[in-house]
Each structure stands twice: as C-alpha cells, then as structure tokens.
Amino acid sequence: MSLSLSRSLPRALLRRSYGTVQAPPSAASLTANRIPPALQEATAATAPRTNWSREEVQQIYETPLSQLTYAAAAVHRRFHDPAAIQMCTLMNIKTGGCSEDCSYCAQSSRYSTGLKATKMSPVDEVLKAARIAKDNGSTRFCMGAAWRDMRGRKTSLKNIKEMVSGVRAMGMEVCVTLGMIDENQAKELKDAGLTAYNHNLDTSREFYPSIITTRSYDERLQTLSHVRDAGINVCSGGILGLGEADSDRIGLIHTVANLPSHPESFPVNALVPIKGTPLGDRKMIPFDKLLRTIATARIVLPATIVRLAAGRISLSEEQQVACFMAGANAVFTGEKMLTTDCNGWDEDREMFERWGFYPMRSFEKGTQQPAIDAASAPVAHDTASAAPAAASS
C-alpha cells in the first residue's frame, strides 16, 4: 500500500507557507536605495545653495565612484553645455622671490629650487603674450605675480591695471593672482576691467597650517571677501596631493560651498612636485582621488566653472576626458603655467576635435538653462560611470 502524501514529504517542507509570485525589485529601485540622501537632493536641485553641511559633502564624496561621476555628469548637463570647455592661458608676470613659505611653491625665496627671481614683465610684453594666446584660441588670460601682498606696490598696481585694460580691449576675460589685496586695491582692479581674481584656499582649514605658516586661512578668506565685495568674480580652489586626507578635500569643498556666493571658478590642481621644496619628493595624487574631487565639486558647486589646472600634463588624454565628463569645463593651455609645463594649444585643439568638445567663447560661462527636469534626473539608473575608465596615474 502506498504512503500518504503527508508522510512522503519532509516535515520542514510541510511547515512552509507560499505566497503569490512577485517580480524582483527593479534595478532602478535597488540603485536608488544606495544613493545618499544628499546626492539625491543635489541631483534634483535647479539652483546652487550655500548652506551645505560637512556631512552632506562627505556623503557625496564617498558615493561609489561610478555612481558619483554619473550623477556629476547629469548635474553638469543641467547647468552647462557639456561640450564647451574654457581655454585659459596663465602668464607669470613676476617670477620668484616670494617671502611666503608655501611648501609646494618653487617661487618661495625660502627654498633652493634653481628658479631665478625676476622683476615684473613690461606691459607691452604681457599684452603681446595675451595676443598670442587669443590667436591660439584662449579666451581668458590670467596673470600671476609672486609676492605676499600688494602693500607698497603702487607702481606695480598701476602697470597691472594697464595690463588688465589692455587684455580686456582684446575682448578677452582677464584674471590676476597677486596674493592678498585690500578693498581699495580690489576696487581699482575692478575699475580697470578685471574679470576675476584667483586666490586659492589650497586645502581644508585643518590641514592648512601643515602647508603654509606665513598667511592664515582667515586672511585668504578676507581677500576673497574684498574681491567679491568689489564685484569681481572669485576664482578659488585647491591643490591635491599635498599629503592631505579625504576629509581635507571634503573640508575644502565644504568651505567654498558655504561662501556667501559660490566662486565663479574652482581650480583643481594636482601637485607638481618641485625639487627643493618641502613637498618635492611627493608622488602625484592617484587619479581616482582627483576624479572624485572634480565630480563632488561639480555636484556641490553646480553653476561654477570647474577648472582642470596644474598637473593636467601628467594625465593621459583618456583621464582628461574622464574629468570633462565628470564636470570639469575649463583648462589652462599654452606654453607654460607659471613655473611648470603646460599642455599646448595644438594638443588641446586636437583632443577637443577627437572627443567633440569646443572652446567656450569669452564671457560665455558655458552655462545654460536647466535642460533636465528635476523629476527625470538620471541619477537613479544602475549604470557605469559617465566617464570612461582610466587607470590611476
């Protein structure tokens, strides 16, 4: 006689209960659960905000890199034309002899780097260099002088104002970096036609004293305040690879994001080690850290120009394009970048042509009206990074 069904089945199986068959969770819903709240809010934003908490910036920075760069690309396309890249040329109008002790700088008089100090370049020589830059496609001309501040430099300021006026007369944007300036000097530069003033914060407030002791963090912020109050665009970013931690890169972006208004330009520099300086033996920052910083800056500073600055020459073409796809939309191009080598105009034009980029026009800013509705922001898709894979440098 056959056994009954109840006796033939294992007891554990008989105790199980079964419900209706349900579809598995969608890839989009699974991915959405992994997106930090701060990133979800940032990718839906239609305007910049200046009340970021450090924890929110950290959430974004620590997002898995493939998801982070994808989100940055989405934000970039909402606020900018993703094919437009600003071409800038930087000229050293006064080399070396600086009294500051910036640990990374070849121009400090405190270090033996083999750099010869010079007097300020003549006005006509600077304007000639600006014309060459313009003829080669640069639309922004930047001038840097190696000194601590502008105190007692009336003749130098007069000459710089002539340079500024002359460059503006060519139809170019013009930026200067002259160390600390006061409110009156900022107003004079504004009246001369200055477009932007560069004064980098370099790193976080906490790590800053490890790099510089001759100028405080608050003094740097004060200069930015003078520039902003004069109606000049603020250009302020940092240097990566100084020995800082992720928390310091987060701190830098947090500080800049909570200024009264976001800087018009945020330069991201990768340290170029200079022999003779205290940081002369450091290796370049790993590429993933550079890319993560650029993507975070793009998301937190959505309308700002994110400038791929010093150290770009050490990146492969594919790494540079990864940075552009993650939100960088400006470069320095030309013969030199202060005291270090720079990617050349011809090289950049060829790269742009290969990848479908084009030079931004003067005063264009590369901005556009939000092109992606907040509800349709593609951050919740489980996809690979918008940037191509690139090996660490």
Which amino acid belongs to residue 164?
V
Report d(CA 74, CA 298) in Å as an integer: 10
Catalytic: 307? yes
Catalytic: 175? yes
* 147: DSSP letter: S
> Encoding tokens for residue 300?
């937190």
Is 142 known to sit in a ligand binding site?
Answer: yes
Catalytic residue among 142, 215, 220, 298: 142
Catalytic: 102? yes
Report d(CA 366, CA 51) in Å as an integer: 25
Catalytic: 88? no
Catalytic residue among 78, 88, 102, 342: 102
Catalytic: 142? yes
The length of the chain is 393
Query: DSSP 3-state assignment of 177?
Result: strand
- Helix or strand (DSSP H, E) at 358: strand 358-359
> Encoding tokens for residue 83?
């094919």
Catalytic residue among 77, 78, 88, 105: 105
Helix, strand, coil in percent for the chain, rounding step 5: 40, 15, 45
Catalytic: 323? no
Catalytic residue among 77, 88, 153, 175: 175
Helices (H) and strands (E) in the chain, counts: 14, 11
Residue with tokens 């400038």: 307
Is 307 known to sit in a ligand binding site?
Answer: yes
Is 88 known to sit in a ligand binding site?
Answer: no
Which amino acid belongs to residue 347?
E
Catalytic residue among 307, 312, 323, 342: 307
Is 175 known to sit in a ligand binding site?
Answer: yes
Catalytic residue among 88, 235, 323, 342: 235
CB distance 75 to 300 below 8 Å: no
Q: What is the b/e burial string over 80-102, where b = at least 16 CB atoms within 10 angstroms of the residue's CB? A: bbbebbbbbbbbbbbbbebebbb
Annotated binding site: 98, 102, 105, 142, 175, 235, 307
Annotated binding site for [2Fe-2S] cluster: 142, 175, 235, 307
Annotated binding site for [4Fe-4S] cluster: 98, 102, 105
Q: Give catalytic residues, as residue numbers.
A: 98, 102, 105, 142, 175, 235, 307
